[in-house]
Amino acid sequence: MFALLSNNTMNTQNQWKEKWANQPMLMLTTVVIWSVFIGLCIKAGALTFVAILSFFNAPVAQDLYEGLNLYSLMQENLWYYVGLLSLIIGIAVSKAYLFYLMIRIFMSIDLQHPFNSKVGNYLSQMGSTALQIGFLIIITSSSIKWLIKRGFEIPSMAGFIGGAMEFIFMGILIFAIAQVFKRGIEIQSENELTV
């Protein structure tokens, strides 16, 4: 059993060394995407942790994350506070998941045979996740406008809910790329069958 695990580890290490040697720009891009993914995970985790903590210690809501102050909303209506915070956390988690899918794509891509079904599936998932983020941002923005009309004091949240149309456009674009990619997979498999 230990020998089998050791062989799998050695094969994985050799694959990584080979990828770095043959595709250094692809691997460098993967490292950058990993760093963004880790940052987004930290943001989502910190928001979730502080949100839970704010239920036990209300003054924590004065500075949830990067100056986000929802203390007055929490004092006036706890359910609106929970709803708005859930939407904000949902956006942060979805953004982290989008970058996770990017990592999976870059880890699965091989420039010698770039078209494979695994990458095509990840592209489709990325497209739907980007669309979901866009619609979540629209719902959150509408909720904030609704709360402001009702007289609740809501601070500016541009750092948390910006870019809805960009994500929707990106989702549509990725779906189009996924369709081209699927066609590339078909052509590549036809070429392999004829050889």
Which pLDDT does position 12 carry in this prediction?
55
Neighbours of 84 (CB within 10 A): 22
Q: Which of 77, 78, 76, 73 has the alpha carbon at shortest distance from 56?
A: 78
- pTM over cut 0.75: yes
Q: Return all residues near 157 (Cβ < 8 A) that are at least 6 apart.
A: 68, 88, 140, 144
Residues of the chain with pLDDT under 70: 1-23, 111, 192-195
Q: For position 41, what pLDDT does the model report?
A: 93
- pLDDT score recorded for residue 139: 93
The pLDDT of residue 117: 81
| Helix, strand, coil percent content, the chain, rounded in steps of 5 | 85, 0, 15
What pLDDT was estimated at residue 42? 93
Predicted local confidence at residue 1, as pLDDT = 47
Residue position matching structure tokens 């078209």: 115
Residue 171: the pLDDT is 92
Q: The tokens of 142 are what? A: 């509408």
> What's residue 66's pLDDT?
80
For residue 21, the model assigns a pLDDT of 60
Say how far apart CA 119 and CA 129 lie, in whole Å.
15
